Amino acid sequence: MADITAASVKELRERTGAGMMDCKKALAENNGEMEAAIDWLRAKGLSAAAKKAGRTASEGLIGAVVEGNRGALVEVNSETDFVAKNDIFQDFVRNAAQLALQHGSDVEALGAAQYPGGGTVQEKLTDNIAKIGENQSLRRAAVLEVGEGAVVPYVHNQVAPGLGKIGVLVALDSAAPGETLNELGRQIAQHVAAAHPLALAADDLPSDLIERERGIAMEKAKESGKPQNIVEKMVEGGLAKFRKENALLTQLFVRDNKTPVAEVVASAAKQAGTGIQLIGFVRFQLGEGIEKKQEDFAAEVAAAAGASKAEPVA
């Protein structure tokens, strides 16, 4: 059996909100594997909030820009939120988003692109690190485009035009007037920012994610003690609910919490007198998927004191 450390129990508690003894048991039951222990706690109904497992922890900014029928998002990370308020940093994020429109979503290619005023994007970033005195990184980029219609941006927690903590692009394919598409796109983008869909349609959800949810649903259903045929129905019902709640087109629109997004689009198309198709979206939330290093100030002080070999004063 794997050695269960206090640090791993602490991390699991922080990521799930479950009790200390439950976290210790979850790790013991899963040979110390953190992700498996999280699933085990969810299956047992002991996790306070499953979404804490993917909580955000990094600082910086999301940049959004749209030109014509093409839009781009970029994420640039920094060590502290203070840097996100720096004019040099903000200017870099704006320019990086603008360059992503031309060079696409490949971060390596974007880093090698020519930066306004000379040098490459990566060289400018390196220069900024020296000037600001804090590490920064160009983490990711995404581009959406339509042949006819509109790509509509939305930035949540905006700190400056086109810069904030959550950025969304929504792509609408339609011959409807630009005013109609921009208003619909803005509303859907706000929904995406709030509801965090994982895919456009249920069939687009990753198969490995579905299988993971199937395993969790199966463990929950078995706990009920019901016959196998009932357990299987419970599992399929749980998966159907998961698909519906995590696909954008079937999510209930946040503005009224009763109309599926697909029906919102259909209603707008009817009013416009022409077809409107929601063909894609991108959502970047600052730092999602990055675990922030937890600093123990007391431990740092103790370590520093130990390093100095100073004896305590009586």
Kindly report the average pLDDT of the chain as a whole number: 86
- Answer CATH for 59-199+260-285 from 3.50.50.60, 3.30.450.40, 2.30.40.10, 3.30.479.20: 3.30.479.20
What are the strands of the beta sheet with 70-78, ordered from one edge?
Answer: 136-145, 70-78, 59-67, 163-164
- The residues with which 281 forms a beta bridge, in sequence order, are 170
pLDDT at residue 293 in the model: 52
pLDDT the model gives residue 294: 47
The amino acid sitting at 72 is A
1-55, what's its fold? Helicase, Ruva Protein; domain 3 (1.10.8)
pLDDT above 60: residue 132: yes
Give the tens place of pLDDT for each residue, 73-93.
999 999 888 888 999 999 999
The tokens describing 273, both together, are 């007198």
> Mean pLDDT across the stretch 4-28?
83
SS3 assignment for 68-127: CCEEEEEEEEECCHHHHCCHHHHHHHHHHHHHHHHHCCCHHHHHHCECCCCCEHHHHHHH
Tell me which DSSP letter residue 33 carries. Answer: -
The pLDDT tens digits of the residues spanning 243-279 come to: 999 999 999 999 999 999 999 999 999 999 999 999 9
Backbone phi, psi, residue 289, to 5°: 85, -5
Output the 3-class SS for 130-179: HHHCCCEEEEEEEEEECCCEEEEEEEECCCECCEECEEEEEEEEECCCHH
The residue ranges of every structural domain in the chain are: 1-55, 59-199+260-285
At residue 47 the predicted structure's pLDDT band, cuts being 50, 70 and 90, is low
Gap between the Cα atoms of 271 and 287, Å rounded: 39
Bridge partners, residue 136, by sequence:
78
Q: Are residues 164 and 62 in contact, defined by beta-carbon separation less than 8 angstroms?
A: yes
pLDDT category, 49, cuts 50, 70, 90? very low
